[in-house]
Structures are given as structure tokens and as C-alpha cells.
Amino acid sequence: MKADREKLIVIGNGMAGISTVEQILKLSGSYDITVFGSEPHPNYNRIMLSYVLEGSKTINDIILNNLNWYEDHGIKLYTDTTVARIDSVTRRVITEDGASVPYDKVIMATGSNPLILPIPGCDKQGVVGFRNIEDCNQMIEAARSYRSAAVIGGGLLGLEAAKGLVSLGMQVTVVHLMEDLMERQLDHQAALMLKDELERQGIGFAMGKKTTELIGGKRVEGLRFSDGTELACDFVVMAAGIKPNTSVAKASGIAVKRGIVVDDFMRTSMHHVYAVGECNEHRGVCYGLVAPLFEQGNVLAKHICGVATQPYEGSIVSTKLKISGVDVFSAGEFIEGPMHTVIAAQNDWKHTYKKILLQDGKIAGAVLFGDVTEAAPLQKLVKEHALMTDDIYNEIKGGGCCGSSGAKKGLSVETMASEEIVCGCNGVTKQMIVEAITEQGLSTVEEIKACTGATRSCGGCKPVVEQILQYVLGDGFQSESKQGICGCTKLSRDEIVAEIRGKGLKTIREVMNVLEWSHPEGCSKCRPALNYYLGMVYPAEHEDEKASRFVNERLHANIQKDGTYTVVPRMYGGVTTPEDLKRIADVSLKYDVKVVKVTGGQRLDLIGVKKEDLPKVWEELDMPSGYAYAKSLRTVKTCVGSQFCRFGTQDSMAMGALLERKFERLDFPAKFKMAVNGCPRNCAESCTKDIGIVGNDGGWEIFVGGNGGIKPRIADSFCKVKTDQELVDICGAVIQLYRETGKYLERTSEWVERMGLEAIQAAVLEDEEQRMQLLDRNNFALQQVEEPWSQVLRQNATRRVMYGEVNGDAPRNQLEV
């Protein structure tokens, strides 16, 4: 640190504090900056926690500023460190572990804490808030062991928590005190439409319910309401609100009411100490949304950098959010009264709704549901209390759900103020986007995202970003930037496969060179995909590139969080023998396996195998791999069928084993699961499998596209067949069509919805010639793959080839999990 620079300490490593720091850096503020964060992570986007919870994003995906960013800007970051107080006499910040750091200025950005209702039982096990990554982890862990959850609170956080838990497979009920969801942001009609949509997504609701007690023993077992009714559950998320985190301010003698009291320049009652974001209280108001914290941060950054700025006079509260895939927006007043003139329109077919309130002829508020492309211009009109004119009315009528016909005109971004925030998730203004376009020559949404951060989070601002691009570039704007399979290329899956076939490309390196990959080595997304596509196109010629497979596939086992591996031997159709069971037990004892678990696919999982023991474990098991790690056929689950069950009409065990042995060695775009039931009682759960088969008196019924994972889907009925041979042929044709048209990592549940069930049926059922061609290619591919593991493992040379990486012979350029 330079001695001539003032020392700025930021207490809080969240979005408010670091956004302010980013503005200070842009203004070339001359400070040595130290940041204290209570969590063990760099700055991340708290708005995106729901995506981590549902599994569509990882923690790394929502990091806004990685550790390199702090280092590059000379910022000293203390993670997992909580500040206790500020000593204004010695001008030092004191941490809870006793450390003391001198300061010239301090910014408190301590955010808020979840409101845990002070009711009996709130301290039971299984009760969490939803505010940070640790809360997310607890919820994900709970979903592995428990089935039913209650979410207390029908606001944004509660609804996102509920959707995430549903995605994890839990049965979820949202308990809300009011009769309308998000009553602080939505009117009755928008709230009703939101509730209907979320019910379609699998969320249950208990509206108008006041929770008075959490019942159960050490662990929560349910909720009791003020009307005497109860709701059984074994996990509870408190999302009833937030409260400003004022603990540091209180311990330091700084004025606090509901939040830390600040003036129009974010100054607290302590000299040279400021507060920004959810922790503060400005003119009696505490804000819980991101847009006000960015507005406060901009004023604060300019103030402490000595740049002239208008004081912060408060924010027109607006909400523009994507709740579980549904766009909603509100600004200003949204509940009509006798003083209001109402402009409203609803389109039940498109599930859109728009309402604008006028008071004394001026625009006082607005609500949008389903289509929020006009959110930014409407927010400006509400903020300015703009007088409604015929021109504005015609623009409003021409856009969104109010339009009757013709092209969608909508409100123009030309009238937006430069300082208007476009991306509320990342605090990006219209001016920042315009400057990026004009000064750096950017022309696509993707380039804007990479440069400014706009659209990189929830994506709700993408329509406005596109409008700004069109406004600045005119005819030079292309409405949709081309998306490739990864950042290394702009080519789609279909284009890549066509180029491989058309140009006879045979290796990953050749594909990357000829098709001009932007990164010559590729990445962890495209290399496994190219390896699969090449193997699919050239089943006889392609030499599998082991270095382009994930570590689990290279070691034939799943890596666990402690660095050990799980080994899953194959049991065809879920059937094994006493001899195999004894061999599994002997190997488990010999190699100190921690746990032997029965899996959901009717197999045994040997958990806790050391990496160096993997070759010997597989050799001594002398059983085929269950491919629990592979993009291939994992399991064929069966019931006992007609061999033993009094209800069975078909021999499900024999058919399951036949299908598993036939297709086990093929590579697929993603993991693939099957199930065979001997009767319609569905004991093997065919309805949630990629291909599910149900026996009946007349033969078999085939189902496709099921999924029981993060995004559950019930399989579609595909066809009925009378003979076993028809069944095997139809399955083989569907599998080959999926192999040839599926995107890498695309499950059949997504594939069926993208392709359309009718198109798949037409290719396999209606066009006999095409079905025979699919079967021929499928059989040819099967002929090219290795022999079953039971034979391969007996070949002495195989261990050296398959496990070279264990002995240090692996290529240097490898993919990790």
C-alpha cells in the first residue's frame, strides 16, 4: 500500500459495497482499499442464489468478482472475517478475532439478515433462512434426506426458495399471511396470475395463514396456524422478510433506528463513516431491492472521490424480476383507488397483464406480468410523474398485451435518462451501455454482457439492452447474437456435426483448427461434446480421446467431495447372484470401503474407494461397470414381473436384462435410464425414465422422455407393441435417433420437448425405411464398441491402458469434474 493514499475500509463484501468500490475505481479514486466479508467467498450475486438452489447454476457461476479481480485492483480482501466495531478515537476497525486495521474512511455495507419469526419452535433442527450460500447448501442437503418442506413467506425470496426446493424433488407448500403473493409489488390480478403459474410448476400454497408454532421434537415436524389447523413438513424455510444488519453500527455508537441512519450523501453520525445498501435508513426508508443500493453507491462513490454529484433523494420503488421463469414488474402505485384512472389489459392466451395508474392525469404507477419489455421506459415515466398524452397512450397501446394487431411498437428507450439503471442485478445504466457501444464498438448482447455485466444474471433486462443496441446502431444492429455450444465457437451443435460429416473431420484437434475455434485447446464444455459427436458420426473410425472425458469417466468411478471414489458394478435388470454379493462383500472389506449403499437403480454402490485402489477393486470384483459416471445407459430398473409376481403379465426381469446387455456400451448425449414393468402397477417407476416400458396382457407399452431429477418430467406414451422383438427394435431406433440428434448433455426430457413427440414418432413409427436405417446404424455402432467389462478386465494389457492416469501416465491436458 502507498503511504500517500487514504485507507478506505469496506465492511461487507456483498453487492452494495463492491458495487460502490467498482464506481470508486472507475472514478480513479486514490484509496488503498481493504474489504472485510463474513462469508468465505468473493463477491457473488445474491439475486442468483435461487438458480444455485435449483441446480441450474453453480456457486462459481454467480461470482461477480473473483479473487483475481481483488488482486488486480490492489484490494486487500479478508474473507470469513466479521467486524465487531469501529473505534473512532483510534480510527481503527476491530474484528471479532481481535485484529485491528487503521482507516481514514469506512463504508458499512453489512446488508440485511433474514427475519426468523420469534415463535415457539423456531430454533428446531430443520429451520433455515434463505439469504446466503450456506443457506443454499443446507437446503440442498435437506432435499437429499427429506421430502416435504414449508416456506413461510410469499414474497420474492420465499417463492424462489419454493421453486428451488421443488426442482430438488421436494413437495413444497408456501405459507403466506396475506391473500395475495408479493402484495408489496403486485396487485390482486398479477398476484393471482403468478399463483396460478407457480401451481402449474408444482408449488402448493396455504394463503391467509398465520404461523404460530413450529411443532415436533428436536426436529421440526410441522406448522401450527392461528386457526388451529396444521401442516405436516420436515423442513422449514423462513422467508418472511429481512431486517437491516446494524450490529457493527450499534456496537460503535452510530445512530441507528430501523437501519443505520444516513444523510443524502450516505454519511452516518460518525465522522468519515458511511453506510450503503440494505443496512441503512435514508429519510426514514430502508430499501430491500438492488436498484436503490446501486443509486446510493453511485452518489457515495462520487462524494468520497470529490466528484460533483446531486444528493440522493430516495428511490421510486420499482421491481423488475424473473420469478421462477415468470417476468413481473411494478413501479410506483399499483393498487387503484378512487383517485386513479386505470389503463389495463389482460391476455389470458399469452398469460400477460398490464395496468397503468394515472392520478390527476399523471402516470403514478404500473404493473406488468409476463411481458416486461416496457419496464424501463415505464419506470422513467412513473419516476417523473409524466403527464399522460395521446402519444404516450398510443405507444403504450401499441406494445405488450395491450396491442390489438400489427407490429409491436412499445415505448422508446430514446427517452430514458442516461443514469437510468437497465440491469438491476449488476447496476448497469443506460449510459454505461451506450458508452460501451460507441467507445468500444460493441454490437451484440453477448459483447455488452462481457463488458458491462448487463444480462449476465437473471437476463430480464435483455430486451431493453437489445432496444438500446438498436437505438444506437440503427440498421447495424442484429437482434440476436449467434450462440455456439460454448465460448470457443459460434457454431451450433447441428452446424458442427454437418461440418464434421461434410469435411470429413476425424479428430478434436482437426475440428478446432478447421472450424477456427477461438481457443485452440477448447474448454471443458466443447471437448467432451466433440469427442461424442465424432464417435457418433464415425463409430468404426473414431479413436476415443480419453483426455477429453471427465475424470469420472477416465477412472470408471464417481469422485466424492473427500477425494475418494464410488464404484458401482453392473447388475443386469437389478438381478444379482449370491456369488457376486459375496465378491462385493469381500472386496469391500479388503479395501476398507466406507459404505455399501443400495442405489435407486437397483445396484450396490461401494463408497469411499481410494484412487490408487481402483484398478485392483475392479479386477477383483470381476464384474462389468454399472457406468454410474458415464453418458451412457446407466441402469434398467425392473420389477419381479411374471416370473414371481401374481400381478405380472410380462417377464420384466428377463427383458430388462436383455435391454441392458444390448445397449450398455453405447455412448449417449447424456446419461440414460430405462425401466421395465411387468404390469401397469409401475413398481419400477417407468414414468420417470428416458425409456420406460410397461407390460400388459397384449404386449408392451413404451414411454419416452421421463426424468426424475432436477427438472422432473412424466414420460410420454410413445406406442404399444405386441412382441419382444418389436420392443427391442423400437427402443433401438429411438436410442439411435436420440444419439444422432441430441445435443451433448441434453437429457431425453429436453430432447423430446425440443424435437416434438410427433416428429420422433413419425421418424420411428411411421417411416419404416427410416426406422430400419436407424436400427442398422445402431447395430453397427454396437459392433464397434469394446467387449463387456467381464471380458475386458481379464485382458492383462487393459489395466495399463485404462488406468494409466492412476500411475502417473495421464495426458497433461485433462478435464476435471
What CATH superfamily classification does 421-476 receive?
BFD-like [2Fe-2S]-binding domain (1.10.10.1100)
The pair phi, psi for residue 489, each rounded to 5°, is -155, 155
Q: Residue 809 above 50 pLDDT?
A: no
CA angle 160, 161, 164 (to 5 degrees): 85
Q: If 0-12 CB within 10 Å is exposed, 13-18 middle and 19+ buried, where does residue 524 land?
A: middle
Is the CATH number 3.50.50.60 carried by domain 116-240?
yes
What pLDDT does 478 receive?
61
Hey, which bits of 37-134 come out as E strands? 43-44, 63-65, 76-78, 83-87, 92-95, 100-102, 105-108, 112-114, 127-129
Q: How confident is the model at residue 808 (pLDDT cuts 50, 70, 90)?
A: very low
> pLDDT tens digits for 488-528?
888 989 899 999 998 899 999 899 989 988 877 787 788 88
**Residue 373: count of CB within 10 angstroms of its CB:** 20
Q: Residue 417 above 80 pLDDT?
A: no
What value does the mean pLDDT take over residues 699-711? 89
Please count the CA atoms within 13 angstroms of the CA of 69 that sit on its side-chain side.
13
Question: By the 8 A CB rule, do 667 and 535 touch?
Answer: yes
Q: How confident is the model at residue 450 (pLDDT cuts 50, 70, 90)?
A: confident
Question: By the 8 A CB rule, do 643 and 684 touch?
Answer: no
Give the three-state DSSP class for 390: helix
What pLDDT does 477 receive?
67
Q: How confident is the model at residue 811 (pLDDT cuts 50, 70, 90)?
A: very low
Give the pTM.
0.58
Residue 615, CA distances (Å) to 457, 551, 556, 607, 681 in order: 43, 15, 9, 15, 41
Residue 705, CA distances (Å) to 494, 638, 674, 711, 756 in order: 21, 18, 10, 12, 11
Q: How far apart are CA 762 and CA 759, in angstroms?
A: 5
State the cell numbers at 646. Answer: 401374481
Comparing 6-112+244-304 with 116-240, is the CATH topology the same? Answer: yes
What pLDDT does 724 receive?
94
Mean pLDDT of the residues in the chain: 86
Q: What is the 3-state secondary structure (H, E, C) of 765-792?
A: HHCHHHHHHHHHHHHHHHHHCCCCHHHH
- CATH architecture, range 631-785: 2-Layer Sandwich (3.30)
Q: Residue 41 above 70 pLDDT?
A: yes
> pLDDT tens digits for 706-730?
998 777 899 999 999 999 999 999 9
What pLDDT does 309 receive?
93
Radius of gyration for the chain, computed over Cα atoms and rounded to the nearest angstrom: 30
Burial 280-314 (b: 16+ CB within 10 A, else e): bbbeeebbbbbbbbbbbbbbbbbbbbeeeeeebee
CA angle 725, 729, 734 (to 5 degrees): 150
Fold for 6-112+244-304, please state it: FAD/NAD(P)-binding domain (3.50.50)
**Residue 670: count of CB within 10 angstroms of its CB:** 19
What value does the mean pLDDT take over residues 137-157? 92
Q: Residue 794 above 70 pLDDT?
A: no
What value does the mean pLDDT take over residues 17-37? 91
What CATH superfamily classification does 318-411 receive?
FAD/NAD-linked reductase, C-terminal dimerisation domain (3.30.390.30)
What value does the mean pLDDT take over residues 244-255? 97
Q: How far apart are CA 607 and CA 622, in angstroms?
A: 18
State the cell numbers at 26. Answer: 472507475
What pLDDT does 316 receive?
74
Residue with cell 431429477: 709
What pLDDT does 812 receive?
27
> pLDDT tens digits for 262-299?
999 999 999 999 999 999 999 999 998 887 898 899 99
What pLDDT does 790 receive?
37
> pLDDT tens digits for 186-205?
999 999 999 998 988 889 99
- Maximal C-alpha separation, the chain: 88
**Cα 778 to the center of its chain, rounded Å:** 34
Break the chain into its structural domains and give their ranges: 6-112+244-304, 116-240, 318-411, 421-476, 493-548, 631-785
